[in-house]
């Protein structure tokens, strides 16, 4: 197929409740969507970058600029393309994985829609449903945290993840553990700790956590190794793992024994599937992370999470965890699980009415 046009849409979506992590508080999503118009039909991809460069160096305006000035021109000039060739086509741009992922996903969506193949089938995933967890932000007080967690447990979520930071760790984790009994529980620090905190983080061992996610800065692999050696709780890397090569490296060095896979962070779903395969080969379980995706990105995440080695519940929560109304048909939690879309491509349809109503600026068309 050939790509004839690339459309960049920007949509503002308020969150149903603020989401606070160790690096900040978010009340809305500034969503960048990529639509490719090709000779075989259209495809959509969602860019997971945040409005500011606080989770990683990428951010929405930057991604838009990279797509506009580098990726889209390369795609439009490439002639015949296929999703499997996009990473090589974009290799001349260093990093910028979230921008690349959004475009590659749009191409993959167009390609698989035309072929009548669902993302799940394309990934070789045969689960019909995926187990879901929910990521719970830092709350103003433990009491409020407990109320929020209790609500999610009532809704049926199979695993709770608490965001932690220095000063918000042992006390909330203890209280939530008491509240939820033996429901699966894990924590995510988003790089908020340092080597001096190793002993303190060891105090989390008594709570029987599934894992501790990314306690230290992404480049600091040695400190993650030191922590993994010092505590019982498994260490899981998120931000650090940006490619299958990196996954192979950090697993081999003992820095991580479980991996969070986010397609946006690693440059796309094809690389995400490669990381899945590397981890499976090494006997390391994986789970699907989330970046507060709309139904567009969520559909692809759920299909990815249906692959065999995604053995832990992901941050693949229902649409209503973040949005009162989704940009696609909503993902609804049933018995703690989401159904993997079965239609061609991502299997969901973008609601043109909402896209127009929520647009923060007119779409940009590149040809
Ligand atoms: O999609 O439910 C989701 C978000 C899950 O906690 C989540 N993501 O580090 O894993 C992570 C964070 C990154 C985004 S925080 C604004
Ligand atoms: Mg994380």
Span 60-110, pLDDT tens digits:
999 999 999 999 999 999 999 999 999 999 999 999 999 999 999 999 999
Task: Answer yes or no: do 149 and 263 share one domain.
Answer: yes
Q: Which ligand is nearest to the CA of 56?
A: 1
Cα 188 to ligand 2 centre (Å): 6
pLDDT band at 42 (very low <50, low <70, confident <90, very high): very high
Do 292 and 191 fall within a single domain? yes
- What residues have CB less than 8 Å from 146, skipping those under 6 apart? 175, 176, 179
Same-domain pairing of 169 and 280 = yes
Q: What gap in Å lies between CA 349 and CA 82, rounded to an integer?
A: 22
Read off the pLDDT band of 261 (50, 70, 90).
very high
Q: Is the C-alpha dihedral spanning 100, 102, 105, 111 positive or negative?
A: negative
Tell me, what's the pLDDT at 3? 98
Whether residues 73 and 153 share a domain: the answer is no
Q: Are residues 50 and 178 in the same domain?
A: no
In the residue annotation, 165 being an active-site residue is answered as no
Q: According to the model, what pLDDT value does residue 22 have?
A: 95
- Is the residue at 79 inside a domain? yes
Structure confidence at residue 294 (pLDDT): 98
- Confidence (pLDDT) at 147: 98
Same domain, yes or no: 294 and 165: yes
- Our answer on whether the CB atom of 315 is closer than 6 Å to any ligand 1 atom is yes
- Across 39-180, where does the E strand assignment appear? 41-47, 129-131, 133-136, 159-163
- Closest ligand relative to 289 C-alpha: 1
Q: How far is CA 209 from CA 24, 187, 261, 291, in A?
A: 24, 8, 19, 22
For atom 6 of ligand 1, the residue with the nearest CA is: 135
Q: Which atom of ligand 1 is nearest to the CA of 134?
A: 2
The ligand whose atoms approach the alpha carbon of 258 most closely is 2
Note whether 88 and 185 are same-domain residues. no
| 263 Cα to the center of ligand 1, angstroms | 13
pTM above 0.75, yes or no: yes
Domain-located, residue 346: no
Does residue 307 share a domain with residue 285?
yes
Residues 6+ apart with CB under 8 A from 121: none
Ligand 1 center–CA 315 separation, angstroms: 7
CA of 21 to the centre of ligand 1 (A): 8
Asked whether residue 295 is assigned to any structural domain, the reply reads yes
Whether ligand 1 lies within 6 angstroms of the CB of 135 is answered as yes
| Ligand 2: centre distance to CA 237 (Å) | 8
Determine whether the shortest distance from the Cβ of 186 to ligand 1 is under 6 A: no
- Residues of the chain with pLDDT > 70, as a percent, come to 100
Which domain range does residue 44 map to?
Answer: 3-115+352-366
Arithmetic mean of pLDDT, 110-116 = 98
Residue 345 forms part of a structural domain: no
100 catalytic residue (yes or no) = no
Q: Is 289 in the pocket of ligand 1 (CB under 6 A)?
A: yes
The total number of structural domains in the chain stands at 2
Ligand lying nearest the CA atom of residue 314: 1
> Quick one: 26 and 109 in the same domain?
yes
Q: Taking residues 132-139, what's their average pLDDT?
A: 98
Per residue in 329-363, pLDDT (tens digit) is 999 999 999 999 999 999 999 999 999 999 999 99
* In the chain, beta strands by DSSP E: 3-21, 24-38, 41-47, 129-131, 133-136, 159-163, 184-188, 212-213, 235-237, 258-261, 286-288, 337-339, 359-366
- Looking at the structure, tell me whether residues 48 and 110 fall in a common domain: yes
Instruction: Give the span between the Cα atoms of 130 and 310, in whole angstroms.
Output: 9
Burial 140-154 (b: 16+ CB within 10 A, else e): eeeeebbebbeebbe
Predicted local confidence at residue 23, as pLDDT: 94
Catalytic residue among 100, 161, 163, 165: 163
pLDDT of residue 5: 98
Q: Is the CB of 44 under 6 A from ligand 1?
A: no
* pLDDT value of position 166: 98
CATH of the domain at 283: 3.20.20.120
55 lines ligand 1 (CB under 6 A): yes
pLDDT in tens, 158-175: 999 999 999 999 999 999
Whether residues 222 and 308 fall in one domain: yes
Instruction: Answer whether 301 contacts ligand 1 (Cβ < 6 A).
Output: no
Question: Is residue 317, in this structure, part of any structural domain at all?
Answer: yes
Q: Rounded mean pLDDT of the chain?
A: 98
46 pocket-lining for ligand 1 (C-beta < 6 Å): no
13, 15, 21, best to mutate for ligand 1 pocket (most atoms within 8 Å of CB): 21
pLDDT of residue 218: 97
Residue 134 alpha carbon to ligand 1 centre in Å: 9
Give residue 5 CA to ligand 1 midpoint distance, Å.
31
The confidence score (pLDDT) of residue 286 equals 98
Q: Which atom of ligand 1 is nearest to the CA of 137?
A: 6
Confidence of residue 138 (pLDDT cuts 50, 70, 90): very high
Per-residue confidence (pLDDT) for residue 269, from 0 to 100 = 98
Does 260 lie in the same domain as 151? yes
pLDDT at residue 308 in the model: 98
Whether residue 63 is contained in a domain is answered as yes
Query: For position 157, what pLDDT does the model report?
Result: 98
Please indicate, yes or no, if residue 347 is contained in any of the structural domains. Answer: no
CATH code at position 69:
3.30.390.10
Which of 243, 252, 326, 329 shows the shortest CA–CA distance to 284? 252
164 in a domain, yes or no? yes
């Amino acid at each position: 197929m050939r790509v004839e046009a690339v459309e960049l849409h920007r949509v503002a979506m308020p969150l149903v409740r603020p989401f606070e992590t160790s690096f900040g508080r978010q009340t809305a999503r500034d969503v960048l969507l990529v639509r490719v118009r090709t000779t075989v039909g259209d495809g959509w991809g969602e860019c997971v970058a945040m409005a500011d460069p606080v989770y990683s160096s990428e951010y929405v305006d930057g991604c838009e600029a990279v797509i506009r000035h580098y990726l889209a021109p390369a795609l439009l000039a490439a002639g015949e393309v296929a999703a499997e060739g996009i990473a090589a086509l974009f290799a001349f741009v260093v990093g910028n994985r979230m921008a690349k992922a959004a475009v590659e996903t749009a191409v993959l969506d167009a390609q698989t829609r035309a072929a009548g193949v669902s993302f799940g089938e394309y990934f070789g995933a045969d689960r019909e449903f995926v187990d879901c967890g929910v990521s719970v932000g830092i709350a103003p007080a433990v009491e409020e945290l407990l109320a929020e967690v209790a609500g999610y447990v009532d809704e049926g979520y199979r695993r709770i993840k608490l965001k932690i930071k220095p000063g918000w760790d042992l006390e909330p984790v203890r209280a939530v553990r008491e509240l939820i009994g033996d429901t699966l529980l894990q924590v995510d620090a988003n790089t908020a700790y340092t080597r001096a905190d190793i002993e303190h983080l060891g105090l989390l061992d008594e709570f029987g956590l599934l894992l501790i996610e990314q306690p230290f800065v992404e480049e600091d692999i040695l400190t993650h190794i030191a922590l993994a050696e010092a505590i019982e709780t498994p260490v899981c890397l998120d931000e650090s793992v940006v490619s299958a090569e990196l996954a192979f490296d950090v697993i081999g060095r003992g820095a991580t024994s479980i991996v969070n896979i986010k397609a946006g962070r690693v440059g796309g779903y094809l690389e995400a599937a490669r990381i899945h395969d590397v981890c499976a080969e090494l006997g390391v379980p994986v789970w699907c992370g989330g970046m507060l995706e709309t139904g567009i990105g969520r559909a692809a995440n759920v299909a990815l999470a249906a692959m065999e080695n995604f053995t832990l519940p992901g941050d693949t929560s229902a649409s209503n965890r973040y949005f009162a109304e989704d940009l696609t048909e909503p993902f609804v939690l049933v018995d703690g699980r989401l159904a993997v879309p079965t239609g061609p491509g991502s299997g969901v349809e973008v609601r043109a009415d909402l896209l127009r109503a929520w647009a923060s600026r007119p779409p940009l068309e590149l040809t």
